[in-house]
Amino acid sequence: MPTLSAFPPLRRRRGSAPITGVESSGRLPDRGIAASGLEAAEVAVFRSKPRAGLVELDAHGRAMFDLPTSGAIATGELLARVVEWDRERLAAALAAPSADASFCIEVRVQPREAPGRMLLCRGRGAQGVFIDITERPSSDLRAEYALRRNSDPEPQAAGMAERDRLWRYSRDIILVMDTDGIGLAANPALTRILGWLPEEIVGLDVLELIHPEDHETVLTALADVLNRDNSVPPEPSADSDVFEIRCQHKSGRYEWISWVAGYEGAEGRTLYATGRLISGEKAAAAELVLAQEALRQSQKLEAMGQLTGGVAHDFNNLLTPIIGGLDMLQRHEVGGEREQRLIDGALQSAERAKVLVQRLLAFARRQPLQPAAIDITALFSGMKELIASTAGPRIRIEFDVETDLAPARADANQLEMALLNLAVNARDAMPNGGLLAISAGLREVLADNRHSLAPGEYVLIGVADTGVGMDEETLRRCVEPFFSTKGVGRGTGLGLSMVHGLASQLGGALEIESAAGRGSRFTLWLPASQRLDHQATGPLAAPEARPVRGLALVVDDEDLVRASTADMLAELGYDVIEASCA
């Protein structure tokens, strides 16, 4: 894997060697063999006099700038021959701030009559040379000058100003660095996006600002850029030229930046990269993935519910004649003691199968419910002893119910079963003991909520434990029917699915929060009721005596169910009429 340092570093222009052709006295050389050699090499010698505002220039130099053939040249007149966007740099060089200061710049000359030229100005202190590099292919700026030298300076100056505005106002980061990955310059967008000032990047290894896991991506991408033929520009939409990495904000956090890089120069290459902030897009994409996963899970549970409901309904039809027949055999004491024991065992298994079918129907939201206004405080009081005996002595139980809590709209029997299932799960999650906290409160739900509940008041019943908790995979599948982590023979895997189905059928929701090693919390959202269905608490009056015999109409499309029901009614003394449809 090549690193950036494997490529030729950017060549920086530092102090120059003494200029050939300038005498130590500072005087311009006499014309002769030396001067002829300078002319042949397209070199002109000059000496600047900043205090007097003059420049001494040899004949060849005067010709380069299309100036008079004799006399000192005013600095302003010389600068007037240089295109506007290069005047400031040449003026600074001619100002000669100190005798030891060296300079090496490129300027574009546009005389009044002579053809335009590109000159390399090199010198030290107040003296130096102009070298004509207009036709030299080694100059990186020759092509640019060829496009500009016959143009009006004013539009060109406007173009330079426009590029300066793009540099300053671009909302994307523009980064310049050498092939060793050392920052050379950055535009102000760096501060807006990553908080760093542009001057803080200069001289800094850019890898220091990149997430360690993304270093390999950066090195590979920049190596590909440097190995690419720069004469063939890449397609703007080519994904291979785009790499996304995490860059450190000055505050310490990391932001996702999408970069596109290229280089300039043939030997000493300079890397240019533009970076666009995509942290928001990354976050939105992650949220979309989670939403799609939640939708798939919801569709999966819906499909499983439809399948489970159909199977449970058929099982219920099969169990009805079995339970009815066994009940009749038991009541008639058919057979001896051994036969009665076998009938009793079969009846118990059938009853367990009946409970299993009820849980399946609850998950599928197809169980018959009798919703009423339930006093949660009274419900908790009635279940305290049952929950305590189920949890065992090693688990501490706490109940917390808000005062004046509104009743919940639910089926009392099914709600008791749901709470018992949650308590059993909590007990199994705390094999070494712990805390089981059961609470109830009232919450207002607005139209836009994460559970897609209808607006209104809801009673929240919470069951929290300090057990082993669930990892992400278990949490994702915990409400699936027959999914269990308790092992074979220790559970049906229908407890949570039954609670989930009950809450949905009542118009509420089941919220689950859990993490491995941090326990779990199950919150049951149930619609609140405005009134309490009071039941008579006094002694029940004896029912009025009525004759047992009567006429009963039994309608069922399942023959075995209809026949067993008719036999039981007939045994009770009813005349029965059977029908297979309404």
First-to-last CA distance in the chain?
80
Tell me the per-residue pLDDT of 158-186, one tens digit each, with 9 for 90 and over.
555 666 778 888 889 999 888 888 888 88
Say whether pLDDT at 241 is over 50: yes
User: Tokens 């009274």 — which residue?
Assistant: 378
d(CA 491, CA 482): 9
In the DSSP assignment, the letter for residue 518 is S
**Model pLDDT, residue 367:** 60
Q: How far is CA 312 from CA 219, 347, 406, 492, in A?
A: 60, 19, 34, 14
DSSP H or E run through 299: helix 279-331
User: Distance between CA 116 and CA 94 in Å, rounded?
Assistant: 21
Residue 489: pLDDT over 90: no
pLDDT-wise least confident of 100-104, 109-113, 288-292, 440-444: 109-113
3-class state of residue 281 by DSSP:
helix
Give residue-wise pLDDT tens across range 34-78: 444 455 557 888 888 888 889 988 888 888 888 887 777 898 888
Could you give the strand order of the β-sheet that contains 54-57, starting from the edge strand earlier in sequence?
A: 73-74, 54-57, 43-49, 127-132, 117-124, 102-109
Pick from 230-239, 478-487, 561-570, 571-580: least confident: 230-239
Mean pLDDT, the chain, whole residue set: 77
Separation CA 448–CA 139 (nearest Å)? 65
User: In angstroms, rounded to a whole number, what is the distance separating the alpha carbons of residues 442 and 444?
Assistant: 7
Over range 5-16, report the average pLDDT: 35
Tell me how far apart the alpha carbons of residues 308 and 302 are, in angstroms, rounded to a whole number.
10
* 67, 69, 74, 78 alpha-carbon torsion, rounded to 10°: 30
DSSP per-residue string spanning 97-148:
-STT-EEEEEEEE--SSSPPEEEEEEEETTEEEEEE-TT-TT-TTHHHHHHH
**Nearest one of 191, 150, 148, 151 to 168, comparing CA atoms:** 191
Paired residues of 45 in beta bridges: 129
Q: pLDDT-derived band of residue 251, with 50, 70 and 90 as boundaries?
A: very high
Q: Which of 259-263, 287-291, 479-483, 571-575 has the lowest mean pLDDT?
A: 479-483
SS3 333: coil
Q: Which 3 state secondary structure label does DSSP give 417?
A: helix
% of the chain at pLDDT higher than 70: 72
Q: Which amino acid is at 486?
A: K
For residue 274, give the nearest of 172, 422, 385 by alpha carbon: 172
∠ CA 210-216-217, nearest 5°, is 75
Cα–Cα dist 363/479, whole Å: 9
pLDDT of 349 over the 80 cut: yes
- Give strand ranges (E) for 329-371: none
> How far is residue 68 CA from its own chain's centroid?
70
Q: What is the pLDDT of residue 4?
A: 43
Residue 519's Cβ-side half-sphere holds a number of Cα atoms within 13 Å equal to 16
pLDDT of residue 553: 92
| Cβ–Cβ < 8 Å for 105, 94 | no
Residue whose pair of structure tokens reads 């700038």 in the numeric block: 65
Q: Is the pLDDT of residue 257 over 90?
A: yes
The pLDDT of residue 439: 94
Q: Where are the alpha helices (DSSP H) in 397-543?
A: 412-429, 472-477, 495-505
Instruction: Give the span between the Cα atoms of 11 and 267, in whole angstroms.
Output: 8
pLDDT band, residue 308 (cuts 50/70/90) = low
- Report residue 44 as tokens: 């002109």
Over range 197-208, report the average pLDDT.
88
Average of pLDDT values for 333-347?
82
